[in-house]
Structure formats: C-alpha cells, structure tokens
Structure 1
Amino acid sequence: MRHVLFSIALSLVALPSWAAQCGNRSAGFDAWKASFAQSAQRAGVGQRGLQALANAQYATGTIAADRNQKSFRYSLDKFIEIRGATTIVRQGRERKARDAAFYTALEQRFGVPAGVIIAIHGMETGFGRFMGDSSVVSAIVTLAFDCRRSEFFIPHALGALRLVDQGSITAATKGAKHGELGHTQFLPGNAITYGVDANGDGRVDFYNQADALASTANYLRQKGWRPGQPYNKGTHNYEVLKTWNAASVYQESLSIMGAQIDG
C-alpha cells in the first residue's frame, strides 16, 4: 500500500501537460478532475474508477495535514516518545510470539524479519486499531491536483482508481490523510504494484492483516532488502527502510524497534 504493472501510471508523470492546471486551493478542482478523467480513461481506468473520481471531493483536511508534517521537526527521542515505541515493542513481542508460524512463514518467503514488519504495523496504525478516517480517493485525488507535489501523487491517484475498478477499495473506503490505506498504510500506486494475496481468497485486501503484512514484506524485498543482513543505520537494508517513509526519525525508529522486537 499491487499487481498491475505500475509502468502505465509512471508513464503519466508528465500528465500535467495533458490535464488542466494544478491548484493550491479548491478553485479549479472540478475542471481538473474532468480533464484528469480523460487521461485516466486513456490509462485504462474503468467506469467504477471514473465514477469514484467524479465523486471525489476536495479534501481540505488532507491539504492542512500536508502543510503541517511535524515528524520532520522532531528529534529521535521526542518522536519515539510521541509514537509510543515502548508500547509498540511490548505488544509487538506478544504478537510475534502469538502468531509465530505466520511471521516465520513471512520471513521465509520474503526474507524480511518479523520485527521490521511488526514495527511498521504498530507505527502506522497501532496494529490496525486506527486505519484512518479520510476518503482514500478524495485525499489522493486532491493531492494529485495540488501543485505542491502533483507529479508524485498523480500515479497514486491512478492507482486508487484502479483499486476501485478491481474491487480492492470503494469510493467510500477510509484511510489516512494522504490517501494511505489499510493496516500498514500503503499509498495506492504502491498497493497496485506490490500487493500480495496472502490469505488465498483471490483478492488483495489491505484491510486484511495477512494481505497487508505480506504486501509490506514484498514491498521491502522488491526495493532491495537483503535477507539475513542487518538493518541498523548505515547498512544497505537501512537504505531500503528509507523508501518506506521520508522522515529520518521514522526510519531510525523502525530499525530500533524492529531489533528490540526480534531481540
């Protein structure tokens, strides 16, 4: 947060040349959506995805959150305190012991230690207790329209619409403020690319814990994770952790908590 090749979406990084102009407030959002719908249709988005796009609302809460990302300003100690690292480690150890067979199978398949996956799960949603209260489609479409990082979010907006087409989410599905979804808060384009059907029910559901955690492990492995090697700061695998979240305090916290959970 992932099966359809992302190349179609990535080919649209230059999409603003096709679409209406981006904006920094709600004015122009509907006109942009209408233009983007034509581009999305050319990229293979179907009727359900296009309808979800048409119904998307400008997400003022998402814009406010994007302008005020506090994690980048915290020290490591402050971030660890605020995120409740001690509780995550304690509960993470309990979860690993309780579901040992699942986490062992996950590591055997993808090579990513249980501690890392559990730490991400705990950090992102408190082990699934809160997966967000914002419309995934509206949030990600708003960010694709917003001039601040439009090119980054356009492929993820296309991913969200394709997830609607596939039935993995609906137009009403709730996620985080930046459109991240499920147990480990995948961005929709990454969900399309790296999703794994771990429970074998024929669909990838990021609100199903097994699918979400397997997809997380698959994401890290595909980003270059080297099984059996350390992941503390300065290592190759630590560089892979950086691809999960841009905040350095987040990356370092994951490496610390993962090691404590596995220790």
Structure 2
Amino acid sequence: MKFPSLPRLALATTLAFHLAQPAAASCGNTSAGFESWKADFARQAQKSGVKKKGLQALSQAKYATRTIAADRNQKSFKYSLDKFMQVRGANTIVAQGRKRKARNPGFYATLERQYGVPAGVLISIHGMETAFGGFMGDSQVVSAITTLAYDCRRSEFFIPHAIGALKLVDQGTLTTATLGAKHGELGHTQFLPGNALTYGVDATGDGKVDFYNVTDALASTANFLRQKGWKPGQGYQEGQPNFAVIQQWNAASVYQKAIAIMAARIDG
C-alpha cells in the first residue's frame, strides 16, 4: 500500500477538517443576502446553544432598514458636551431624577447597599436611555440585532448580542414581537441582548428577568456596573476610579461625561 507523503497527508487532513466545518456566515451591506445569511447563521447559533424557539425567531427575523439608517446616521455623539447635554435634556433628567429618588429612597438605598452603585448613576442612565421608561423603542429586537449582526459595518460586535437575543427567546424573556431601540437594546435602561443574558437580575423574585419592569431593569443595571468593576464608595467623575466603569456602559465620551455630571447633581 502506498501512503501519501507527510506534507500531502497534512494538507489532506487540513482540507478535510475545513470541509467538515459549517461555513461562516458572510456579512452584507444590503438586504439582498440577509435570508441566506440567516440560514448560515442558524448553524452558528445552534452550535452556540440556541434551541428551537430561538432558531424559529431567527427564521422569522426581517431585515431592519430603519436600524441600518439609524446606524449610519448617529449625529448626537459628535456634539460637544454642552450641546449633547442640551439636546438630551440633562436639566429635565436631573429635575425628574431628584423627584424619583425622593419618592422611593428605600429602593435606591437597597440597590446601593447590594451593588455599591449610587442612586444618581442609575437614575441618570434610566433618564438618558428611555426618559424613565417613557419610550423604550419601537423596533423589533430580534430583527434589529440580527440585522446588525449581518451588516458588515460592525458584525463582529453584534454577533454575540444576536446569539444572546436568540437565547433570551429560548428562555421566554423575549419574543419576536418584543420592541426595543433600533440597535436592539431592550427595556428601561436599554440593555444589549448579550449583556441582558449575562447580567440580568430577577429583583422582583417572580422567577423571570423582565427588563420592562423597572425593578429588574435597575437591579440588572447596578449588577452590570458592579460586575464591570464598580468600587463602592469611590468617585465616578472623570479621572476617578468608577468613571472607567461608566465607560463600559456606553462608548461615547460625551455620554459618559453627561452621566457622571447628572448623577452628581441628582445625588448632591
């Protein structure tokens, strides 16, 4: 029997290995390839632990044109800090935030005892993200996040969040009809699905994590910050230890600074 030489054998083994693997889903910049991408991504999702309900949600996802338009046209984060705070209504957030803290001091004190995060930080995030739950989005979360996972612009960033969203469907936390922001963020403080899966807290004790319930949402937000390294009792202004943790919540520098400034005014 004639055996192939070692280099030829190694090459044959390598080719066989790659042929046996499912092809990676290819990103795209238009809606044209979305359906074929979903079929490929379903295999990747299944390997990552997504089950029947999640895979069904993926199959039903629609290419979200409004999400793509929003992702290509993010202007507010290019503003100066003063302009950003004006546009986002910082004074209103602070005024309403102080009232919210005064109405329910025990709730915020409990969160601070448990996670070390002051009320002002949680209230500022809540106000900035959804005007205290006044508007939590009008885009279908699963369609939005899978569209961003498919889109070539930031595919690698959004793929884990798309997997997370499908797992949340499996758990019953999301459905294909659940609405959130145009980038797939959900609930009172606009968690990306992967973070929701990892840091979600059932603070009400009803057996499920509901990001559209303010108690669960704010406890989950506090848990996220604590798990990202929040140091209880330390400062959170720019240059202080906990400012780096606020940076983990949102990558835009004007957002980070606005949260820290508003939080100090609410807590002051």
1:163 aligned to which of 164, 168, 178: 168
| Unpaired stretches in structure 2, ≥5 consecutive residues | 1-21
Q: Deviations over 1:66-119 (max 9, x none)?
A: 111112210001110111111100110000011111000000000000000000
Secondary structure in structure 1 of the residue aligned to 2:32: coil
Q: 1:58-207 to 2 correspondence within 5 Å?
A: 58-207=63-212
Inter-partner Cα distance in structure 2 for 1:71 and 1:244: 17
Secondary structure in structure 2 of the residue aligned to 1:183: coil
Amino acid at match of 1:71: S
Inter-partner Cα distance in structure 2 for 1:243 and 1:20: 28
Inter-partner Cα distance in structure 2 for 1:122 and 1:226: 23
Inter-partner Cα distance in structure 2 for 1:95 and 1:19: 48
Match of 1:253 in 2: 258
Deviation at 1:20, TM superposition (A): 2.8
Amino acid at match of 1:56: A
Contact 2:77 2:84 in 1 (8 A): no
| Unpaired stretches in structure 1, ≥5 consecutive residues | 1-16
What percentage of residue pairs aligned between the two structures are identical? 72
Q: Aligned residue pairs: how many?
A: 247
Inter-partner Cα distance in structure 1 for 2:123 and 2:209: 19
Inter-partner Cα distance in structure 2 for 1:240 and 1:260: 19
How high is the TM-score relative to the length of structure 2?
0.91
Inter-partner Cα distance in structure 2 for 1:149 and 1:140: 11
Taking only aligned residues, the RMSD between alpha carbons, in angstroms, comes to 0.8
| Structure with greater contact order relative to length (CA < 8 Å, sep ≥ 6) | 1
Contact 1:52 1:161 in 2 (8 A): yes
Q: Deviations over 1:104-147 (max 9, x none)?
A: 00000000000000000000000001000001000000000000
Inter-partner Cα distance in structure 1 for 2:239 and 2:78: 21
Tell me which structure has the larger Cα radius of gyration.
2
